[in-house]
Amino acid sequence: MNSGKPKIVIVGGGFGGIELAKKLRKKAVEVVILDKHNYHTFQPLLYQVATGGLEADSIAFPIRKIFKGQKNLTFRVTEVQKVIPQENKLLTTIGEITYDYLVIATGSTSNFFGQDEIQENAMPMKSIPEALNLRSLILQHLEAALIAPTPAAEAELLNFVIVGGGPTGVETAGAIAELKKHVLKNDYPELDIQKVNIYLIEGSPELLGPMSKQSQEKSQKFLEELGVTIYTSARVQSYDGSLLTLADGRTIHAKTVIWSAGVKGVVLNGLDPTCTVRGNRLKVDKTNKVDCYDNVYAIGDVAAMLSDETPNGHPGVAPVAIQQGKLLAENILNKIEGKPTSHFKYFDKGSMATVGRNRAVVDINKIHFQGVFAWFTWMFVHLMTLVGFRNKLVVFVNWVWSYFSYDRGTRLIIRPFLKKADIIKLNDKYRSSETQEGVS
């Protein structure tokens, strides 16, 4: 597309990028969206894919279908290798792409804080492929536990550790606990379910740090009722694939460690490093313009709008990205037309987390409630936020079925999974055997 109109390139098809592009519909601009996947992912429900509660395609929606009929938009599946801001162009796997305005909406990825050993052995859960890998690994370890040669080996396979007590960690721990309580006893009758242990490790003194004290305490109580062992004020020192060691010396033997302890922004190569602040996020002004440039913007998880009110930036949640995307569309159009731009102000609609069947916590301003009503509120909000009527219907049917049957229908090992560290060990073993054969 070469219309001669101002060209706005959006890197990332997440909540912010999608909302921005929608708001530019029928405007006198050329819009290009770039993403390495051809679908939008509803990340808040990734943990349900990982624990067999939902099919992967029920939380994904084709980006092309979202923008069907939007004539001023072009979408390309590609990875951005580098941005050259001095020349207003991107180097991608499909060639060079120029822009008049660049919007970075690349989101975030798991932050292992430079601990390579943990990164090789723990399981992240920030994308659909990662969630499917985790689902396969959990089921593979349950199958392996049935034929474990020793009690110690069996214990390693049946211990599940979640690191990070934010919403993702709490919801994942609750989902695995529900899996243990309602499903595993039927799927694996020869397995002693009491040997399945779930641990949740959080570095701060409480779970769900940004939420109210009432929600923090209630979520911990809900998890403990489900049999989850919680370690607060505990930090992971190392994990070698079998043994997890905490900073205070405590250890847990486990083959499955799920990492949700932190995220960092996905910043494009080629940008001035001085633009990046803590958490690998791009420092932006009140209009989401990256400080170092006049025509480069960032929204969502990758943007850090620092102020006295938000010294650490805004939280990495979907409503922030959506609201920033909406306002940025107006601001870019105003800038093109020489009109004044508006400053971003986040409207916090509240926070919530589910902790298993009939258990959830909700904070809406000064209103805090927990239990069954909170659980139905959580389900309604997530259903309404999903993209596409089909996805809403499929997820709703899955949830209704699971509620009445106490079952989860997608316990499938579609592709057996090996962690990076295990692949390295197998390669080393293979090379070692080749060397020995050569010597003999």
**All domains of the chain in start order, with CATH:** 1-111+262-409 (3.50.50.100), 116-261 (3.50.50.100)
The pLDDT of residue 421 is: 66
The pLDDT of residue 432 is: 59
Two structure tokens written together for 417: 């999974």
**What confidence tens digit (pLDDT) does each residue in 339-356 have?**
999 999 999 989 999 998
**What confidence tens digit (pLDDT) does each residue in 363-391 have?**
998 899 999 999 999 999 999 999 989 99
**What confidence tens digit (pLDDT) does each residue in 225-276 have?**
999 999 999 999 999 999 999 999 999 999 999 999 989 999 999 999 999 9
Give the whole-angstrom CA distance, residue 289 versus residue 200. 38
Two structure tokens written together for 54: 């939902």
How far apart, in Å, are the Cα atoms of 82 and each of 30, 88, 91, 111, 238? 21, 11, 5, 21, 33
Residue count (the chain): 440
The pLDDT of residue 425 is: 63
Q: What's the whole-number mean pLDDT along residues 7-21?
A: 96
Residues with active-site annotation: 171
Reported confidence tier of residue 436, pLDDT bands at 50, 70, 90: low
Identity of the residue numbered 47: Y
Say if residues 16 and 299 touch (Cβ distance below 8 Å): yes
Q: What's the whole-number mean pLDDT along residues 187-201?
A: 94
Q: With 0-12 CB in 10 A as exposed, 13-18 as middle and 19+ as buried, what is 411?
A: middle
Give the whole-angstrom CA distance, residue 87 versus residue 73. 22
- For residue 370, what is the enclosing H or E element? strand 367-370
Give the whole-angstrom CA distance, residue 269 versus residue 145. 43
Strand partners for 243: 253
Reported confidence tier of residue 322, pLDDT bands at 50, 70, 90: very high
CA angle 322, 281, 287 (to 5 degrees): 50
Asked whether residue 299 carries a pLDDT value surpassing 90, the answer given is yes
Which residue, chain included where needed, has tokens 């209630």?
218
Reported confidence tier of residue 415, pLDDT bands at 50, 70, 90: confident
Reported confidence tier of residue 408, pLDDT bands at 50, 70, 90: confident
The pLDDT of residue 79 is: 96
**What confidence tens digit (pLDDT) does each residue in 108-149 have?**
999 999 899 999 999 999 999 999 999 999 999 999 999 999
| Beta strands 7-11 and 30-35, pairing class | parallel
Give the whole-angstrom CA distance, residue 285 versus residue 269. 21
Instruction: Provide DSSP, 16-27.
Output: HHHHHHHHTTTS
Instruction: Provide DSSP, 66-87.
Output: HTTT-TTEEEEE--EEEEEGGG
How far apart, in Å, are the Cα atoms of 429 and each of 241, 268, 423, 426? 17, 37, 10, 5
Identity of the residue numbered 51: T
- Average pLDDT across the chain, whole number: 92
| Beta strands 80-84 and 89-92, pairing class | antiparallel
Give the whole-angstrom CA distance, residue 56 versus residue 3. 37
Say if residues 318 and 11 touch (Cβ distance below 8 Å): no
- The phi, psi pair for 436, rounded to 5°, reads -65, -40
**What confidence tens digit (pLDDT) does each residue in 81-112 have?**
999 999 999 999 999 999 999 999 999 999 99
